Structure 1
Amino acid sequence: MSPTATGTTTSTPTPDPVAALSLEQRVGQLFLAGTPATAAAPGTLADVARLHVGGVFLSGQSTAGAAGDAALVSRFTAADHDGIPLLIATDQEGGLVQRLAGPGFSTIPAALTQANEQPQQLQADAARWGRQLRAAGIDMNLAPVADVVDSPQQAQANPPIGRLRREYGYAQASVLPHARAFAEGMLAAGVVPVAKHFPGLGAVTANTDYSSRVTDPTTSALSPSVAVFRGMIDDGAPAIMLSSAIYSKIAPGTPAPFAPAVVTGLLRTKLGFSGVVMSDDVSATAQLSAWTPQQRAILAIQAGVDIVLVSAAPEQAPAMIAAVIAKARTDPAFAAQVDAACGRVLALKQRYLK
Structure 2
Amino acid sequence: MRHSRTGAPVKSRRWGAVLAVVCVLAVLAAAVYWWAMLRPSSAAGSDVPRTSSASAEGQTGEAHTHGDVVREPTPEPVDDSLRGKAQRAVAAMSMQERVGQLIMAPLYAGTDPSALYDLIANQHVGSVLIIGNWWSGTAGVRQATDVLQSYAPADNRLLMTTDQEGGLVQHLQGPGFDTMPTAVDQGAMSTDVLRQSAAVWGSQLNQAGINVDLAPVVGTVTVDRGSNAPIGALYRDFGLDAQGNANHAIAFIEGMRDAGVRSAIKHYPGLGAVTGNTDFTADGIVDATTTLDGEEIAAFNAAIDADPGMVMMSLATYQRIDPNNPAAFSSTLIDGYLRGTVGYDGVITSDSLSAAALGGFDPREIGVRFVDAGADLACIGAADYVQPILDGLNERAASDQAFAEKVTRSAIRVMTLKYEMGLAQ
Q: TM-score band, normalised by the shorter chain?
A: over 0.9
**Aligned mate of 1:307, from 377, 381, 386:** 377
Secondary structure, counterpart of 2:324 in structure 1: strand
Aligned sequence identity (%): 37
Q: Does 1:211 align with 2:276?
A: no
Q: How does 1:59-74 map to 2 (within 5 A)?
A: 59-74=131-146
C-alpha contact 1:37 1:69 (8 A) present in aligned 2 = no
1:347 partner letter: T
- The answer on whether the counterparts of 1:241 and 1:277 sit within 8 Å (CA) in structure 2 is yes
Q: Structure 1 stretches (4+) deviating beyond 4 angstroms?
A: none
Give how far 1:234 is off.
2.1
- The offset of 1:41, in angstroms, is 5.0
Aligned partner of 1:226 in structure 2 is 297
Inter-partner Cα distance in structure 2 for 1:78 and 1:123: 32
What letter corresponds to residue 52 of structure 1 in structure 2?
H
d(CA) in 2 for partners of 1:40 and 1:259? 36
Q: Aligned residue for 1:144?
A: 216
The equivalent position to 1:36 in structure 2, one of 80, 97, 108, is: 108
On the 8 A contact 1:52/1:82 being kept in 2, the answer is: no
Listed as ranges, the matches of 1:12-161 within 5 Å are 12-14=77-79, 16-81=88-153, 83-150=155-222, 154-161=224-231
Partner of 2:340: 269
Return the alpha-carbon distance in structure 2 between the equivalents of residues 139 and 37 of structure 1.
Answer: 18
The count of residues paired between Structure 1 and Structure 2 equals 348
How many Å separate the matches in 2 of 1:38 and 1:91?
Answer: 17
Worse overlay, 191-200 or 34-43: 34-43
TM superposition shift of 1:222: 1.4
The structural deviation recorded for 1:8 is: 8.1
C-alpha distance in 2, partners of 1:208/1:236? 26
Matches within 5 A, 1:167-246: 167-213=237-283, 214-246=285-317
* Shift of residue 138, structure 1, vs aligned partner: 0.3
> Which stretch shows the higher mean deviation, 27-36 or 80-89?
80-89
Deviates more, 1:206-215 or 1:18-27: 206-215
Structure 2 unmatched runs, 5+: 1-62, 64-69, 80-84
- Other-structure match for 1:291: 361
- Aligned-partner SS, 1:138: coil
- Alignment partners' CA distance in 2, 1:135 and 1:158: 34
| Structure 1: gaps spanning 5 or more residues | none
* Structure 2 counterpart of 1:340: 409
Query: Which deviates further from its counterpart, 321-330 or 74-83?
Result: 74-83
The AA in structure 2 aligned to 1:11 is E
Distance 1:297 1:82, change over 3 A: farther
- 1:11 aligns with 76
The answer (yes or no) to whether the contact 2:253–2:306 under 8 Å persists in 1 is no
- State the SS of the aligned residue for 2:352: coil
Higher RCO by CA contacts (8 Å cutoff, separation 6 or greater): 1
Give the Cα separation in 1 of the matches to 2:107 and 2:386.
12
8 Å CA contact 2:113, 2:148 repeated in 1: no
In the aligned structure 2, how far is the partner of 1:235 from the partner of 1:62?
Answer: 30
SS of the aligned residue for 1:176 comes to: helix
User: What is the CA RMSD across the aligned residues, in angstroms?
Assistant: 1.7
For 1:67 and 1:286, locate their aligned partners in 2 and report how far apart those are by CA, in whole Å: 33
Displacement of 1:187 in angstroms is: 0.9
- Segment of structure 1 superposing worse, 341-350 or 249-258: 249-258
Secondary structure of the 2:128 match is: strand
Moved more, 120-129 or 320-329: 320-329
Mapped partners of 1:157, 1:170: distance in 2: 17
Where does residue 349 of structure 1 map in the other structure?
418
What TM-score, normalized by structure 2, do the two folds share? 0.79
CA distance in 2, matches of 1:18, 1:271: 26
> What's the offset of the Cα at 1:150?
2.6
Whether the aligned pair in 1 keeps the contact of 2:101 and 2:127 (CA below 8 Å) is yes
Secondary structure (helix, strand or coil) at the match of 1:230 reads helix
User: 1:236 Cα shift?
Assistant: 2.3
